[in-house]
Chains A and B, each alone.
Chain A
Amino acid sequence: MTHTDARADDEKAVNHAASQTQQGQPDLAGWIPERPALAPNVQLVGEMRETGFKDRQWLIQRDGRFMQLTELLYRILEQANGERTLDEIAARVTESTDWMVSADNVRQLIQMKLAPLGLIAPASGMVVSRDEHRARSPLALNVRMRMLGPHLIDPFTKVLQILFAPPVLIPILVAIVIAHGWLYLVHGVAASFRDALYTPGGLLIVLAITLAASVFHEFGHASALRYGGGKVRGMGAGIYIIYPVLYTDVTDSYRLGRWARVRTGLGGIYFHLIFALGAMALYFVTGREFVLVIVALINLEIVRQFLPFIRLDGYWVLADLTGIPDFFSQIGPFLRSVLPIPGWEGSKLPDFKPWVKAVFAAYICVTIPVLSLLLYLLVTRLPLIVATIQDSLLVQAQIFSAARAGGDFLGMAASGSQMLMLALPLVGIAYLFYRLGWTLIRVIRNQPTAGRRITGALISAGVIALVALLWIS
């Protein structure tokens, strides 16, 4: 047997074993090295701080992605340096935990849990191959385009993080409260909207400034992360469900304590409010009423950001307050942990604290119907939405032509930006259905028996026929 053949056989065996492990039949006995070592792409991070779990949880990074581990698994990884034998690892893990751990226990945990995930380097030096091109969930940010890297963001956040220091933060919050009280209780916003409508190009200016406020919002997250000791990974744009979004990658906040994570989640809203405060200051300087429309639009955006049903700021703040790392990806494992349904295979979560368990259950009970209703409305109204966007695009095209003929550059800019904004949700809708389709195909394909695959296909065909019927009628 050649070296290449051996490597291929080794990898095949590991993949086979990994797939069997998922079905509860581990088979890596001959593969576990006598002196196990961490896979080269794995880094130990440390304890997850202030979580909602009963027992301590631990963090590692694999290829830059965080993984949450229970203590025994982490302790084994901690000791697996390629020099210690299974017996030595067992002795050290026994020393550092409440458990009496044997070499067999270590072998079993590596075999059942760590090796299938590619966290331990195999005996031959190969790493378990894994499908790294997993499809992203339709409820995750998609079509991500990173525009700013840490080297461009860090110089700004180095300065802006000062805004989170209590001696600065408290006076700003007081000023925000007073200014908003004045706007809504004394001055009002009706005249501001009227002024924005009357001022040629006024709404366009307002919208451009509102977009700038969204960028500032993102710097709020990045600055809060930095203030808490985390490192931002990038900023950019993408499509979330069907809407265009700006985003900041604050994945590093998993390493932080509860309040630093909450601060990172609220940082965007705090910066949005600072921007609103700036707009009100601009009003006092210029006397232009329409500037105050920006404040009203920012406040509406803040209300929307607090909705916890999709991954906006409110979602992450709620997750961090409860100490649940992520609701959506842990719904399945959570339900498997609390509902002992026979035949429902898959990973389970460690035990949550009772109050956290209650919050998670309530969240599922509210969110699943809300998201199902939103999806139903989107699907059933899709022909109407597409037709409306198409009509609006045609109207905008005419307005654009008229503006171009008249040399009206402001009009051209307005209708051009409107056409772009109208086209983006269309792209988002198409992408959402593409993702949902692939998710469905993957779920059906992964069913363990042919009977279940056929049943899944028939149910899907029925749903598609029903949707088609709704569109026609």
Chain B
Amino acid sequence: MLEKKVLSPEVLEAQTAMELPDREMMALVVINPSGLIDVDVDVGDITVTVQDVNVGANVCANVLASNSDITCTVTQQ
């Protein structure tokens, strides 16, 4: 039979009980909204900076519809 150890005041003091926090597994919902992306709309030699990509796309769509000889590109800054 194994000999039992005597409990010293230090061992008694070292006994601990502590609360554990809840475990919540999180996924950040950090959406980079399209309107916050600055875009350059290059129409021929002219560059127009707009904030909303949809506006840029509309500008290009109208330019290309009116004159197919002019190039129009939307570039994200």
Report which A residues bind B (CB closer than 8 A).
Answer: 62, 65-70, 72-73, 94, 98-102, 105, 108-109, 112-114, 117, 119, 137, 140-141, 144, 193, 197-201, 203-204, 207, 210-211, 214, 217-218, 221, 237-238, 240, 243-251, 253-254, 264-265, 267-268, 301, 304-305, 311-313, 316, 325-326, 328-330, 333, 347-350, 392, 395-396, 399, 410-411, 414-415, 417-418, 421-422
Sample 14 A-B pairs with CB under 8 A, ordered by A number. Answer: A65-B19, A66-B19, A67-B17, A70-B15, A99-B4, A102-B7, A198-B57, A207-B32, A217-B27, A221-B25, A247-B25, A349-B16, A399-B35, A422-B33
Which 8 A/B pairs are nearest by Cβ-Cβ distance? A418-B33, A203-B34, A100-B4, A221-B25, A214-B27, A247-B24, A245-B26, A66-B20
Contact B35 A141 (CB under 8 A): no
Q: Provide the bound-state CA to CA distance between A222 and B34, in Å.
A: 31
Partner of A68, one of B12, B17, B22, B34: B17
Minimum CB–CB distance from B9 to chain A (whole Å) comes to 9
Minimum CB–CB distance from A73 to chain B (whole Å) comes to 5
Q: From DSSP, what is the main secondary structure of chain A's interface residues?
A: helix
Partner of A316, one of B2, B17, B18, B25: B25
Known contacts A350-B14, A417-B33; is A395 also within 8 Å of B51 by CB? Answer: yes
Q: Provide the bound-state CA to CA distance between A247 and B36, in Å.
A: 26
Residues of B within 8 A of A199 (CB): 57
Q: Provide the bound-state CA to CA distance between A201 and B53, in Å.
A: 9
Q: Provide the bound-state CA to CA distance between A301 and B16, in Å.
A: 38
Give the contact-size bracket for chain B.
35 or more
Contact A108 B20 (CB under 8 A): no
Q: Provide the bound-state CA to CA distance between A267 and B27, in Å.
A: 12
Minimum CB–CB distance from B70 to chain A (whole Å) comes to 17
Contact B4 A94 (CB under 8 A): yes
Partner of B12, one of A109, A114, A304: A109
Known contacts A69-B16, A350-B16; is A250 also within 8 Å of B31 by CB? Answer: no
Partner of B5, one of A99, A250, A333, A395: A99
Residues of B within 8 A of A69 (CB): 15-17
- Asked whether any CB of chain A lies closer than 8 Å to the CB of B28, the reply is yes
Minimum CB–CB distance from B56 to chain A (whole Å) comes to 8
Considering only CB atoms, which chain B residue lies closest to A264 in the complex?
Answer: B25
Contact A251 B34 (CB under 8 A): no
Residues of A within 8 A of B74 (CB): 197-198
Contact A119 B57 (CB under 8 A): no
Contact B16 A411 (CB under 8 A): no
Residues of A within 8 A of B65 (CB): none
Q: Provide the bound-state CA to CA distance between A24 and B23, in Å.
A: 30
- Asked whether any CB of chain A lies closer than 8 Å to the CB of B30, the reply is yes
Known contacts A100-B4, A248-B25; is A105 also within 8 Å of B12 by CB? Answer: yes
Contact B35 A415 (CB under 8 A): yes
Q: Provide the bound-state CA to CA distance between A282 and B45, in Å.
A: 38
Contact A109 B36 (CB under 8 A): no
Partner of B21, one of A100, A247, A329: A329
Minimum CB–CB distance from A197 to chain B (whole Å) comes to 5
Known: A100-B4, A109-B12, A243-B29. 9 other contacts (CB 8 A): A98-B2, A140-B21, A198-B74, A207-B31, A211-B29, A247-B24, A247-B26, A349-B16, A418-B33
Q: Provide the bound-state CA to CA distance between A399 and B35, in Å.
A: 9
Residues of A within 8 A of B34 (CB): 203-204, 207, 414, 418
- Asked whether any CB of chain A lies closer than 8 Å to the CB of B76, the reply is yes
Q: Which of B13, B30, B57 lies at the interface centre, i.e. has the most chain A CB atoms within 10 A of its CB?
A: B30
Contact A301 B28 (CB under 8 A): yes
Residues of B within 8 A of A333 (CB): 16, 18
Contact B17 A117 (CB under 8 A): yes
Contact B28 A248 (CB under 8 A): no
- Asked whether any CB of chain A lies closer than 8 Å to the CB of B54, the reply is yes
Q: Provide the bound-state CA to CA distance between A207 and B23, in Å.
A: 27
Known contacts A72-B15, A100-B6, A105-B7; is A218 also within 8 Å of B20 by CB? Answer: no
Contact B25 A99 (CB under 8 A): no
Contact B25 A268 (CB under 8 A): yes
Q: Provide the bound-state CA to CA distance between A204 and B53, in Å.
A: 11
Residues of A within 8 A of B5 (CB): 98-100
Minimum CB–CB distance from B23 to chain A (whole Å) comes to 5
Partner of A414, one of B11, B19, B29, B54: B54
Residues of A within 8 A of B51 (CB): 395
